């Protein structure tokens, strides 16, 4: 049985120090900034990266403890995105799917005008790519060299989404890849 995951809103400014401590304490190998400093996080807080109306931040809680931070982004658009940062010791414990399901539920229940919810990851982040699929999301794009890598060559960015109707029915609508017009192959 997968662990139960709940989302608890980050209370700003009361949780600012805890947010700084949590995010700067861990490494995120598949994020653009893999090891954010306390100053990096404070800068994000000051710029409004966790604040309404454009953002909403949540503590990801499992087994009675904070195991991650999830941020909904672009909430004033019709297709918001998310950022997920799990603690080092929380990865590989089966928390990805229930976390993504909880975020999806939050978006579609709290924001009735939203019809699609999107996410992206690097092509080499196989655990997250599997998480998207297991949570009922569909791969919609593969952007070659679309993800900058500090000190290295860019890698592809892979985009996934879930539609409100898929979430409501529990049925995944596949992307019709075979309807591309024009010549096939070389």
Residue 106 domain-assigned? yes
Q: Read off the CATH number of the domain in which 32 is found.
A: 3.40.630.30
Q: How many domains does the chain have?
A: 1
Residue 68 domain-assigned? yes
Give the structural domain span for 40.
5-169
| CA nearest to 67, candidates 48, 105, 94 | 94
Judge contact between 9 and 57, C-beta under 8 A.
yes
Residue 186 domain-assigned? no
Locate the DSSP E strands across 53-128: 56-62, 65-73, 81-86, 116-122
Judge contact between 110 and 7, C-beta under 8 A.
no
Residue 184 domain-assigned? no
pLDDT by position in tens, the chain (length 186): 778 999 999 999 999 999 999 999 999 999 988 999 999 999 999 999 999 999 999 999 999 999 999 999 999 999 999 999 999 999 999 999 999 999 999 999 999 999 999 999 999 999 999 999 999 999 999 999 999 998 899 999 999 999 999 999 999 988 876 565 656 554
Residue 180 domain-assigned? no
Residue 179 domain-assigned? no
Residue 176 domain-assigned? no
Residue 183 domain-assigned? no
């Amino acid at each position: 049985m997968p662990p139960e995951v709940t989302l608890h809103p980050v209370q700003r400014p009361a949780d600012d120090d805890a947010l700084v401590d949590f995010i700067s304490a861990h490494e995120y190998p598949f994020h653009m900034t893999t090891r954010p400093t306390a100053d990096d996080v404070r800068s994000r807080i000051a710029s409004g990266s966790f604040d309404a109306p454009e953002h909403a931040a949540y503590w990801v809680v499992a087994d009675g403890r904070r195991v991650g931070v999830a941020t909904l982004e672009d909430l004033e658009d019709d297709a918001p995105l998310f950022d997920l940062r799990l603690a080092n010791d929380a990865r590989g414990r089966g928390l990805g799917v229930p976390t993504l399901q909880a975020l999806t539920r939050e978006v579609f229940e709290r924001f009735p005008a939203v019809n699609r919810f999107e996410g992206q990851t690097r092509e080499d982040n196989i655990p997250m790519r599997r998480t998207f699929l297991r949570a009922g999301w569909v791969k919609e794009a593969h952007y070659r060299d679309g993800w900058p890598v500090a000190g290295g060559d860019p890698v592809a960015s892979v985009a996934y989404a879930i539609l409100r109707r898929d979430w409501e029915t529990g049925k995944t609508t596949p992307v019709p890849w075979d309807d591309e017009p024009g010549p096939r192959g070389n």
